[in-house]
Structure 1
Amino acid sequence: MLASGLTEAALLALLEAPAGATCTSPEAAPAWVHELEQAYAEPLRAPVTWPERAEGPDRSAFLPLVEPLVARAVTRLGNALKDLQRAAPGLDFEPAGLVSSMLGHLPQVLAPVLGRAMVVELHAAQLEARLAGDTPEARFQDFTRRLRQPQVALDILERYPVLARCAALRIADWEANGLELLQRLARDASLLWQRFNGGQTPGALVEARGGYSDPHRGGQGVFILRFESGLRIVYKPRSLGAEAGLQQLLTWLNARGATPVMKGAEALDQGAYGWMEYVAPAPCASTEEVRRFYERQGAYVALMHALDGTDLHFENLIAAGEHPVLVDVETLFHPLSGTRTLRDAEHAVEAPPVSVIRSGLLPQQFWGTRTKAGVDLSGLGARAGQLTPQAYLVTAERGTDRMRFERRPVALPGANNLPRLEGESAPVLAYRDALAEGFTRMYGLLLEHREALLAEDGPLAAFARVPMRVLFRNTAVYGALLHESHHPHALADGLERQRFFDHLWRAVVASPDFEALVPLEIAQLERGDLPYFTARVDSKDLEAGSGQRLPDFFQETGLARVRRRLEGLSPEDQTRQRWVLERSLDALLLSTRTVPRPTYAFQEHTPPGLRDALLAEARRAGERLLPLAFERGGEAHWLGLDAGDGGWRLGSPGADVFQGRAGIALALGYLGDVTQDARFTRLARATLRTQARLLGAEPGSVVGLGILNGWGGILYALTHLGVLWNDDALLDEAAGHARRLRPLVEKDTVLDVGAGTAGCLLALLVLGEHRPSDALWATVDACGQRLLETATPQARGSAWLCEAAGNRYLAGMAHGAAGVALALLRLFGRTGDARLRDAALAGMEYERGLYAPEERNWPDLRAGAKEAAATPEGAEHFLWAWCTGAPGIGLARLSGLPFVDDAAVREEIAIARDSTLARGFGRNHGLCHGDLGNADFLLQAAATLGDARLQARVDGVAGGILRGITERGYLFGLQGSTETPGMMVGLAGIAYGLARLARPDRVPSLLTVDSPRIVRGEGLGTPDGRPSSRIQEQS
C-alpha cells in the first residue's frame, strides 16, 4: 500500500466502488484511448507497407489488428520528417524511405504483445466455425483478413484492454523515438562528419535500422544509420561517457607501453545520447593476428577487473580482425548498495566480487541444472548453437488455424565475439597462453602506473560525472517477466498483470533495498520497458529509467570502489586472478571436450625422514592454498570447479566438505595444528566466518545430508574444529544446525554416506560425543529408522537405492551398502538395537553377492560409470577408490570390526588390502578416488590389525606418492587434473592426506568419519577462539 501511495482509507474507498467507477468520463481517459477511438473510427484506406525484413508469420501475422494505429504513426512521422528536411538542409534523406526502414523493427516489438492473445482468438474462431477456407492455411488467412475490419478489431481490443494500451504506447514510442533520433542527427551532423568521416559529407541517409537493444526509458533503443557513401554510425539513446572515457584510457595506456596496442570504438558523447563508430566484424589474416587478439582480450580481462566492469557478454564484443572491440561498456564502476542486491547475491554465490570472472568476459556457465547443460554467454566463451536450459515460447504450425505456442529450448544464434581465421572460428582454448600473457602484462602495467591512474588529473577523472548503468537483477529475469506479462489473462485484466509483476516483491526478503526499487521496476515494466537504473560514477544517488531519484542509495560511489580496487592491486592478487582466468578456461575445456585423467608411474619408495618429508609436503600444499583465498573483512571466499550444472563451471564451491568451505576449513585447521603455522589456522577461521554468515542468511541453500555433500560434513567440520581449538561457539553452531535436520532425514531419498542419511548419522554421532542432547539423539534415532525402513531386500541381502547415482543399488563406501552398514553398526554400538546390526549384515551380504573374484574387487554400478570409462559392452566397470571399490569397502569393514568381526569380514579386509596394494595407486593424489584416499585404508589397516609388515608397505606407498608429486606435481581428482582447492579432489585434500600420513595420531580419518584424536584444549586454540600462545609466537 505504501509503495503504491495508498492510505487505508483510500484503499477501502476503492474496494467499495463499483467496477468501472474509477474512470467514467471521457475527459479522464488517457491519450492512448483517444488515439484508439480515432484510429478505428473508419476502415483503413490502405494497409501499411512493411519492409521485407518485418515479414514472416511469427512477426507480422497479427499486425493487421493494430495497423490503424501504425498507419497514423507512420503518417505523422513522415510529415514530421518532411518538416525536418526543410529545416535542416544539411542532412539529406528521403522521408518515406527512411520511415519504411525504421518500421522494420516494430513487428518484433509488437509480436510478443499480440501473439498469445491472437492465438486464443484464432482458436475460438476456428472452434465456432467462423473462418472461411478449405485448408488450415486458408482459414488462417481469413482470420488475419478479418482483423482489418474495425469492429472486429475493436471487439478484440475491448476484450484485451491491456493489450490495446501496450500496443498503442509502443507504437507511440516508436514514432517519438524515431523523430528524436533524426532531430538529434540533424543537430549533430557537422560534428559527426568531422568525427567519423574525415570532415566529408557521407551523402544521403538511406537507412535507419533499430531493434539492436532491449527497450528502456520509453522504448528507446539502439539504431544503426547507413549513408549513401557506405558510412555507418551507431546511435545510442544514453550517455556514451563510458565509451569515450575508455577510449581515452586506452590511449593513455598505449602511450605507456600497452602491448599489443589496444583499440577501442570512437565515441561522441552528447550527454543524454551519443554516437559511436560502427565496428564491422572482420577475420584475422594469420595465427599471429589471432594470438594478438587474445593477448588484447587478456588485457581487457585485467582492465575490466580494475574498473569493476560487469555484464560484458558476447553481444557487447566485436572481433574486428586482431582487435577485440568492446562496443557497450555502460556497466563499469559498478557500485554496491547498503545491503546486497539480488545480482550481488548471485555473484556472492557464483564468485567472490573481487574476481575477474565478474566482468562477464571469461567463460562461465549459467542457468544449468543437474541434467541440462547451462549456456555460456561470456565474451570469450559464447558460441552458436548452445541450447538454452529454459524453455521459451515458440510457435508451432504457424500460418495455419492450428497455430499455437509451445515451450521448448532454443538455440543461441551466432555472434561476432570470436576471431575467425580462414572461414572458421578460432576459439580461445587454442590460445590460452596468449590470453594469460595479455592479462599478466596489462595487470603489471596498471600496477606500475597506479599512482598516475589515481591522480586527481589522471585518466579516471574522465569517468567521474558519467552515469553508469546499475544491474540489480539479471536482465533475463526482467525479459522473462515482461514476456510472461503478455499472457492473455494479464492482457484482459490490468489488475491481473499488476499482480503478476508483484512477484518482484519477493526480493525484499533477501535484499531490503528492493523495498524502494520494486515500485520503480514495476512502473517501467508496465510501460513495456526493461527496468533501467543508473548512478553517476562520483555519486551515491540512484536514478531510475522512469525519472525518479533515490538519494544516497549506495554506501559508496563507484569511483571510490574502483579506487579501492586499484589500491588493492598486488603481485599476490595478480597470481590469484590469473589462477581464476586459467580455471575458467579449464571449465570451458571440460564442458566442450572429453579430457583424460592423467596418471603417473607409481613405485613404492621409503626415503629417510619420511614423516618430516610428508609434513613438509603437506605444508607446501597448504601454502599453495593460501594465495587462492579471496579475503575480505575477516572472511575468506574460494572458487572451484563444479560439474553439477550439466556442464563445468567456475564458482563458489559451496558449504560442503567435498569441494566446499567445510572441507577447506577442516584441512586448514588440522594443517595449522600439525605444522604450528598460524596462517593456516587464521584462514580456516576466516573460511568458517564466511560459512556462518552465508548459512545464517540462506540455511535452505544446503539440501543434502551426507558427509561429503550436505549437512553431515558441515557438522563434522564444526565439531572437529570446535574440539581442536577448544571453541564452544563452533560446537554450539553445529548443535544449532543439527536441530533443523530431522524433517530432512525423514524425507531423504539419497540415503548414502556421501550425500544422504548415513553420512548425517555418522556426523551426528561424532557431534553427540561433545554436544549431547535429547533433540540430537532423537535425530540420530530418526536416521537409523530411515535407513531401516528404506532397506530393500535383494536376491542376496538388502541394499539401499541411491537416487543420486541413477537409482541404483550400489556397493561401496561413499554411495553403497558398505557405508550405510558402517553407519548402522556405529548406531548399534550406541543403542544395542539388534535390528541395526541385522540390517548392516544384510547390506554386507548384498555386496558379497556382487564381488568379482577375478578382479578382487566389487563393481562400480553407478549410472554412466561404464560409459565414462569406455568399458566394453557386457563387462563390468571397476574402480579402486575410497568412494567406490575395494579400498572403501575394506575401510568400512575395518571400521566395523568392533561390531562385526568374523572370518568373512577378515577375508574381505585382506582381499581389499591386497587388491589396493596391487592396483590402487598411480592415478591421482586425491582422497575420493586417488592415492591418498587409498593410502588411508592401508594406514588404518596396519594400525588396527597391528601389522608391522603392512606398515612398512604403507611407508613405501607414502614415499611413492611423495616421489610422484616431486616428478609430476600434484595430480588432482578432476578430469584433466584441473587444480581446485577442495577437500576430496583438490589441494585441501592433498594437504590433509599428507598431514594424516605424517601425523595419524593427531589428524583423524575423514574417510571413516572418525572422532577427534585429541582431548579438548590440546589443539591450537584458546577458549575465546584466539590462536594459542605457541601459534601467536610464530605469527
Structure 2
Amino acid sequence: MEITQRQDKAMPGANTPSRFARWARATPLTERVEFTLKANTTQQDTSGAARKRLDAWRQQEPFGQADWWQRRLQSSGLTEAELLTLLEVPTEAPWTPPAEVPRWVQVLEHTYAEPSHAPVPWPERTEGPDRSAFLPLVDPLVSRAVTQLTAALKPMKHAAPGLDLEPSVVVSTMLGHLPQVLAPVLGRAMVVELHAAQLEGLLAGDTPEARFQDFTRRLRQPQVALDILERYPVLARCVVLRIGEWESNCLGLMKRLTRDAPLLWQRFNAGQSPGALVEARGGFSDPHRGGQGVFILRFESGLRIVYKPRSLGAEAGLQQLLTWLNARGATPMMKGAEALDRGEYGWMEYVDPAPCASAEEVRRFYERQGAYVALMHALDGTDLHFENLIAAGEHPVLVDVETLFHPLSGTRTLRDSEHAVEAPPVSVLRSGLLPQQFWGTRKKAGVDLSGLGARAGQLTPQAYLMTTERGTDRMRFERRPVEMPGSNNLPRLEGETAPVLDYRDALADGFTRMYGLLLEHREALLAEDGPLAAFAHVPMRVLFRNTAVYGALLFESYHPHALTDGLERQRFFDHLWRAVVPAPDFAALVPLETEQLERGDLPYFTARADSKDLEAGSGQRLPDFFQETGMARVRRRLVGLSPEDQTRQRWVLERSLDVLLLSSQTVARPTYPFREHTQPGLRDALLVEARRAGERLLPLAFERRDEAHWLGLDAGDGGWRLGSPGPDVFQGRAGIALALGYLADVTQDARFTRLARATLRTQARLLAEEPASVVGLGILNGWGGILYALTHLGVLWKDDALLDEAAGYVRRLRPLVEKDTVLDVGAGAAGCLLALLVLGEHRPSDTLWATVDACGQRLLETSTPQARGAAWLCEAAGNRYLAGMAHGAAGISLALLRLFARTGDTRLRDAAVAGMEYERGLYTPEERNWPDLRAGAKELAAAAEGTEHFLWAWCTGAPGIGLARLSGLPFVDDAEVREEIAIALDSTLARGFGRNHGLCHGDLGNADFLLEAAATLGDSKLQERTNAVAGGILRGISEHGYLFGLQGSTETPGMMVGLAGIAYGLARLAMPERLPSLLTVAPPRIVRGEGLGTPDGRPSSRNQELS
C-alpha cells in the first residue's frame, strides 16, 4: 500500500470536508494543531466537558509538580488556552480539512467503497480465535495490500542470478506475522463491539460459539466495518498505517534481496545458488522505524539467512575482534555469527541451536560465556538477554549486539517511578548475560531474562491482558501473569539442560582468562588502528527505558476509549513524563518517544560510537545530547582495567550465581565445629583479622568520583536479588560506612575513612533525590539506622555537617511514626526511638523530642494485653506477637525503658515490664530459650538446622533477650531479670556458637552479649570465657574462612550478615572501650572533642600516644 509514498490515481471527493470530518478525531496532537488552530476553527463546546478533560490532563502525574505542565505544553508548542481550544471542538463540528486530506483517510474510504476484494491468503498458522477472529474487519485493507505487493514483486521473479522468487508464495508467508501486529490494535475494541451486538440481539445462533461466528461474519459487511471504524477512528488510522507499513517493508526487503543476492550466495552459501525462496517469515523482533523488523528467509536448498533492517556494523566489528583475540591466545577460541553489513540493513547467518556432545563441550561453552562476560564488560554492552544468545553446541553465539559502546552510565537512565531504585554501579551485571532479576522489587518477584539464567516456566511479575472464553460471545480480557517460554540460550547434554550452576568454575575461569587477555593487549586494543576502530562509525542502539515499558504502554494505548480520540491517546502517552522528573535532562526525549509510539513503533534511538549526537527512529537528531561518546567511554573502561577491578567483577559474577542458586533451591545457613580457644596476643590477633576483613571490603567498592557504591545480596518477598543495597544499617550503606569509620579509628588506616566518607556522600545524594526510597523506621531497616550511623560518625570525626544532616532528616519522621505498624527495633518505632535518643544528646531540638514522644505514644497505644503481660503485633512477621530483641517484646521494652529514663513517665516502664512478662510466659525450660514465633520460622529452622523453632541469636532467642535485659538493668533490676540474664548466658555459651560469624544471628553477635555482660556484671570469669570464645571465632575463621549469615554463606558486604559486621565485631572484641555495642543501640563511647582521628582519617597526636 505504501500510503506514505504513493498516490492513487483517482479518489473522487477525497478532499471534501465532510469526508474528512468522519475521521478527524483520529489525528494526533501535532496534526490536530495544524488543521484546527491554524484554520481558526471557531465552533466550540459550551458543555464544560473540555475543561474537565483539560483538568484531568493537568492532574495526571507529574503535571501537578513544579513547572512540568508548562514544560509539557512547550514541548508541543502550545499554550494552555490553545490546548483547551483543541479539546473544545465538538464531535459534530464541520472540521476544516488540511490542504491535503491524509493519505490514510483516502486509502480507507477508497478501499471500503470497492464492491469486492480478493480473499486474503492467510497462512494456516494464523487461524484461531486469539489471532485472527477479528481480521475480517480489515480484510479489505489487507487484500488491497496483498494485491499491490504481489503485482510489485512479479518483475522480480528472476531479477537476480540464482534467485527464483514466486510472488504468491512469498507474499503468503510474509503475511504470517501480520495478525500479531493487528491483533493488539483490534482486540479490546472488537470485544466491546461483540458484547454490544450480543446485548442488542443482533447475533444469530443458538450457542455462544455460533453467535461469535455470526459476529465475525458481520465484520465482512463493508458498512458494518465502516460503522465500527468510525466509532474508533484512531483504530482505523492505526490499522491503515500498520498494513501499509507491512506492504512497504516487505517490498523493500525483496528489493534488497534481489540486489544483494550474489553477495549473499558468496558469503553464506559458498558461492552457490540456494534455489527458490520458499519462505520469508517476520515477527522476530519489536517494530521500529515504521514497523520494520527481522525476517528469516528460507531457500529451497535449506539455507536460511536472517535479514535485519539496521546496520550490522556492530556484529561485523565483533566478529573481527573475536578473530583478533583468537590470534592472541583466546582459550578456548571464540566464534561469532557471520554478518554482512549493508549500511542501513544487513544479513546474518542463521545460527541453529545444537546440543553438546560431552561434558567437556559444556565446560568449554561456559568458559566462552565467561569470556563474553569480560568482553561485554570492556565494550560496555547491554541488553544481552536470553533471546539474543543461542547455544550452538559448545559455542555460545551472540546474535544481536546492537547495544555495545553504550553512551549512558549505569545511573543515567529513565526508570518507571514505581520501581525507581539506585541503579547498580557499573559492573559485569550491566551486560544482561549474568543471572539477575528484572522488574522485581523487594516485595514482588521479578523474572530472570538473562543470557545465563533465563528458564522456561517463570511467571511475569506484571499481569497482562489475556483473552478467556475465546471463540464465544462471552469472550473477554482478563489480567493475569504470563508463563515465560523457553529459549535456546543454555547448552543441552543428553536431552537435558546443562545449568550454569554445575559449571560455575568454568564460567569464572573463562572470565578471568579473557579479562587477563584484554589487560595484556590493552595498548594494542586502544591503538588508533586497533580493532576498536571498526566500531567507530557504527550506529549503536541506546536504551533509555526497558523495552517492556514501551511495549506495555503501546498495548495499553489500544484501549477502546483511547481509540475514539487521538488526544485521549496522546494523554495516555504522557505517562512517559513521570520518569523524567528525577532526570530532567531527558525531557527532550518524550516527544520523540511519543511520536514513535503513536505510529505503532517501539521507540528506537541510536548514537554512533564516535558521536555525542542522538538520533531517533523517527529521524530527528539531538546534537551533543551526550557528554561523552560511547567510544570514549569504552576507551576509558579499557584504561581502567586492573587486577583490582578484575577481583571486583569476578566477585559480582560469583554472587550473581549465588542468587541463582538461592532462588532455585533451599540452601542451609552455614555451621562449623566451634571450639573455645585460648589465643595468644588475643587483642592484636583480633585487630589483625578485623583489618583483614576490612581490606576484603576495599576492592568490593565501586568508586566513582568522590562516591562509593556497593552491590549486595538481599532477600524479600520478591526473592533474592543482587543489586545496590539500600540506605539502611542491616545490609546497606549506613552500616557499611559505620563499620568502616570505626575500623579506621582503631587501625589508623585512612583508606577506611575515605571509603566511609565516599559511601556517606552517595547516601546523602540518593536520599536527597529519592527520600521515599527509605522503607521503615528501625535501627536495622529505616531512618533509625541512618540517624544512628550519622550520629556516631559525626561524633567520631567531630563533623558537625553529619550531625546536622541527621538532624535535618528528623522532620520527616513523625508522620511515619504515627502510622507505623511494624513497631519493633529492627524496622519500627522502637528502633527509631532508640536512635533519636542517641542523636538527641548531640542535636536536641523541639522537633526531635516531639518525635521521640510520638514514638513512645505509638508503642503505648499498640501494646496489646495477653494472657500474661502485653505484647506488640508485628505485621511484617505474619501478624504475630513476637519475643526477642530485633523483632519482639524484648527490644521494644528496652526502648520504652530508655525513654522512661528521660521522661519519668511510669506508663512507659509499666508497658516495658508487661512486655518482659509476656516473654516469660513463652520461655521453654527444656530448651533454655524463647521460641522464634515468626511466620515460617519453624519450617525454616527445621530445614536449615534440624531444630524446631528456636534460635540462639541476637535477633531472636536467648542472646538478644539476655542483652536487652542486661541493657535495661539501670531501670528494671530484680531477681527475675537477673535470673533471665543468667539463663541467657548459660544457654548462649552452650548452644550459641558454631553457626556463622555475623552479628545478626551469628557468633560475633552472640559474643557481643558475653562481652557486655562481663563488663556490666563485673564478672572476670565470664570475661575469660568471652576471650576463649573470641579465640574460638578466630580459629574458626582460620580453618573455614569467613562464614556469612546468608544461606549458603554467601559473601555480602553489609553490616549484620556480611563483611562489614565481621570487621566491626572483631574490632569491638579487641577494643570494647572504644567501639560501642551496636546491638544495644549504644551511644558513642568517645567524648566529643576527644576523637581518635581527624575527619580525613589522619592520626591525631593522642592516637599516636595510645598506639
Name the TM tier (shorter chain). Answer: over 0.9
Displacement after TM superposition at 1:871 (Å): 7.0
Compared CA separation, residues 810 and 46, structure 1 to 2 (3 A): same
Q: Deviations 1:801-853 (Å, cap 9, x if unpaired)?
A: 11111111100000001111101110011011111111111111111111111
Aligned partner of 2:755 in structure 1 is 683
Check the 8 A contact 1:678/1:1032 in 2, yes or no.
Answer: no
* Aligned with 1:739 (options 778, 796, 811): 811
After TM superposition, list the pairs within 5 Å mapping 1:687-836 onto structure 2. 687-836=759-908
* Aligned with 2:271 (options 191, 199, 206): 199
Q: TM-score, normalised by structure 2?
A: 0.91
Check the 8 A contact 2:158/2:165 in 1, yes or no.
Answer: no
After TM superposition, list the pairs within 5 Å mapping 1:377-456 onto structure 2. 377-456=449-528
Compared CA separation, residues 840 and 434, structure 1 to 2 (3 A): same
Aligned partner of 2:372 in structure 1 is 300
Aligned partner of 2:987 in structure 1 is 915
Aligned partner of 2:619 in structure 1 is 547
Aligned partner of 1:55 in structure 2 is 127
Q: Deviations 1:355-408 (Å, cap 9, x if unpaired)?
A: 101100000012234554321000000000111111111111101111111111
Q: Deviations 1:293-343 (Å, cap 9, x if unpaired)?
A: 000000000000000000000000000000000000000000028993325
Aligned partner of 2:252 in structure 1 is 180
Compared CA separation, residues 36 and 348, structure 1 to 2 (3 A): closer
Compared CA separation, residues 498 and 507, structure 1 to 2 (3 A): same
Aligned partner of 1:635 in structure 2 is 707
Q: Deviations 1:443-481 (Å, cap 9, x if unpaired)?
A: 000000000000000000000000000000111100110
**Following the alignment from structure 2 to structure 1, what is the Cα–Cα distance between the partners of residues 895 and 76?**
56
Displacement after TM superposition at 1:1029 (Å): 4.6
**Following the alignment from structure 2 to structure 1, what is the Cα–Cα distance between the partners of residues 181 and 246?**
9
**Following the alignment from structure 2 to structure 1, what is the Cα–Cα distance between the partners of residues 201 and 417?**
53
Check the 8 A contact 1:533/1:543 in 2, yes or no.
Answer: yes
Compared CA separation, residues 1033 and 235, structure 1 to 2 (3 A): farther
Check the 8 A contact 1:217/1:529 in 2, yes or no.
Answer: yes
Matched, 1:93 2:169: no
Displacement after TM superposition at 1:769 (Å): 0.5
Aligned partner of 2:407 in structure 1 is 335
- Stretches of structure 1 lacking an aligned partner (at least 5 in a row): none
Displacement after TM superposition at 1:699 (Å): 0.8
Compared CA separation, residues 348 and 97, structure 1 to 2 (3 A): same
SS of 2:1057's equivalent in the other structure is: coil
Check the 8 A contact 1:657/1:707 in 2, yes or no.
Answer: yes
Aligned partner of 2:355 in structure 1 is 283
**Following the alignment from structure 2 to structure 1, what is the Cα–Cα distance between the partners of residues 420 and 379?**
19
**Following the alignment from structure 2 to structure 1, what is the Cα–Cα distance between the partners of residues 943 and 613?**
62
SS of 2:130's equivalent in the other structure is: helix
Q: Deviations 1:618-643 (Å, cap 9, x if unpaired)?
A: 11111111111111101111111111
Aligned partner of 1:562 in structure 2 is 634
Displacement after TM superposition at 1:795 (Å): 1.4
**Following the alignment from structure 1 to structure 2, what is the Cα–Cα distance between the partners of residues 40 and 765?**
78
**Following the alignment from structure 1 to structure 2, what is the Cα–Cα distance between the partners of residues 287 and 333?**
34
* Aligned with 2:1078 (options 995, 1002, 1006): 1006
Matched, 1:252 2:333: no
Answer with 941-950 or 12-21: which moved more.
12-21
Aligned partner of 1:899 in structure 2 is 971
Displacement after TM superposition at 1:5 (Å): 2.2
- The one-letter amino acid paired with 2:400 is D
**Following the alignment from structure 1 to structure 2, what is the Cα–Cα distance between the partners of residues 1032 and 145?**
91
- The one-letter amino acid paired with 2:765 is R
Aligned partner of 1:376 in structure 2 is 448
Answer with 788-797 or 446-455: which moved more.
788-797
SS of 1:233's equivalent in the other structure is: strand
- The one-letter amino acid paired with 1:373 is A
Check the 8 A contact 2:161/2:261 in 1, yes or no.
Answer: no
Displacement after TM superposition at 1:1017 (Å): 2.9
* Aligned with 1:129 (options 174, 197, 201): 201
- The one-letter amino acid paired with 2:545 is R
**Following the alignment from structure 1 to structure 2, what is the Cα–Cα distance between the partners of residues 686 and 505?**
32
**Following the alignment from structure 1 to structure 2, what is the Cα–Cα distance between the partners of residues 874 and 155?**
71
Compared CA separation, residues 1033 and 400, structure 1 to 2 (3 A): farther
Matched, 1:229 2:308: no
Matched, 1:996 2:1029: no
Displacement after TM superposition at 1:597 (Å): 1.8
Check the 8 A contact 1:926/1:989 in 2, yes or no.
Answer: yes
SS of 1:643's equivalent in the other structure is: strand
**Following the alignment from structure 1 to structure 2, what is the Cα–Cα distance between the partners of residues 831 and 216?**
67
Displacement after TM superposition at 1:23 (Å): 4.0
- The one-letter amino acid paired with 2:124 is E
What RMSD over aligned residues (CA atoms) do the two structures have, in Å? 2.0
Aligned partner of 1:965 in structure 2 is 1037
Matched, 1:170 2:242: yes
- The one-letter amino acid paired with 1:708 is L
SS of 2:942's equivalent in the other structure is: coil
* Aligned with 1:273 (options 316, 324, 345): 345
- The one-letter amino acid paired with 1:443 is Y
* Aligned with 2:733 (options 646, 651, 661): 661
- The one-letter amino acid paired with 2:256 is R
**Following the alignment from structure 1 to structure 2, what is the Cα–Cα distance between the partners of residues 463 and 519?**
29
Q: TM-score, normalised by structure 1?
A: 0.98
**Following the alignment from structure 1 to structure 2, what is the Cα–Cα distance between the partners of residues 741 and 813?**
22
* Aligned with 2:668 (options 596, 607, 630): 596
- The one-letter amino acid paired with 1:395 is T
- The one-letter amino acid paired with 1:70 is V
Answer with 372-381 or 479-488: which moved more.
372-381
Compared CA separation, residues 873 and 562, structure 1 to 2 (3 A): closer
Check the 8 A contact 1:338/1:554 in 2, yes or no.
Answer: no
- Stretches of structure 2 lacking an aligned partner (at least 5 in a row): 1-72
Q: How many percent of aligned residue pairs carry the same amino acid?
A: 87
Answer with 80-89 or 596-605: which moved more.
80-89
**Following the alignment from structure 2 to structure 1, what is the Cα–Cα distance between the partners of residues 110 and 416?**
48
Displacement after TM superposition at 1:646 (Å): 2.2
* Aligned with 2:579 (options 499, 502, 507): 507
Check the 8 A contact 1:42/1:150 in 2, yes or no.
Answer: no
SS of 1:318's equivalent in the other structure is: strand
* Aligned with 2:104 (options 16, 24, 32): 32
**Following the alignment from structure 1 to structure 2, what is the Cα–Cα distance between the partners of residues 322 and 23?**
65
Answer with 816-825 or 8-17: which moved more.
8-17
Displacement after TM superposition at 1:512 (Å): 1.0
Compared CA separation, residues 608 and 86, structure 1 to 2 (3 A): closer
Displacement after TM superposition at 1:48 (Å): 1.5
**Following the alignment from structure 2 to structure 1, what is the Cα–Cα distance between the partners of residues 159 and 684?**
88
Displacement after TM superposition at 1:555 (Å): 0.3
Displacement after TM superposition at 1:1027 (Å): 3.9
After TM superposition, list the pairs within 5 Å mapping 1:979-990 onto structure 2. 979-990=1051-1062
**Following the alignment from structure 1 to structure 2, what is the Cα–Cα distance between the partners of residues 625 and 582?**
16
| Alignment length (residue pairs) | 1033
Aligned partner of 1:219 in structure 2 is 291
**Following the alignment from structure 1 to structure 2, what is the Cα–Cα distance between the partners of residues 687 and 182?**
57
Compared CA separation, residues 1026 and 868, structure 1 to 2 (3 A): closer
Aligned partner of 1:532 in structure 2 is 604
**Following the alignment from structure 1 to structure 2, what is the Cα–Cα distance between the partners of residues 979 and 504?**
38
Aligned partner of 2:685 in structure 1 is 613
Compared CA separation, residues 20 and 280, structure 1 to 2 (3 A): farther
Displacement after TM superposition at 1:44 (Å): 3.7
Compared CA separation, residues 875 and 883, structure 1 to 2 (3 A): closer
Q: Deviations 1:508-538 (Å, cap 9, x if unpaired)?
A: 2111122100000000000000000000000
Check the 8 A contact 1:347/1:353 in 2, yes or no.
Answer: no
- The one-letter amino acid paired with 1:1008 is T
Displacement after TM superposition at 1:559 (Å): 0.3
**Following the alignment from structure 1 to structure 2, what is the Cα–Cα distance between the partners of residues 338 and 667?**
27
**Following the alignment from structure 2 to structure 1, what is the Cα–Cα distance between the partners of residues 715 and 1058?**
14
Q: Deviations 1:875-913 (Å, cap 9, x if unpaired)?
A: 951000000000000000110111111111111111111
**Following the alignment from structure 2 to structure 1, what is the Cα–Cα distance between the partners of residues 1036 and 871?**
38
Aligned partner of 2:18 in structure 1 is none
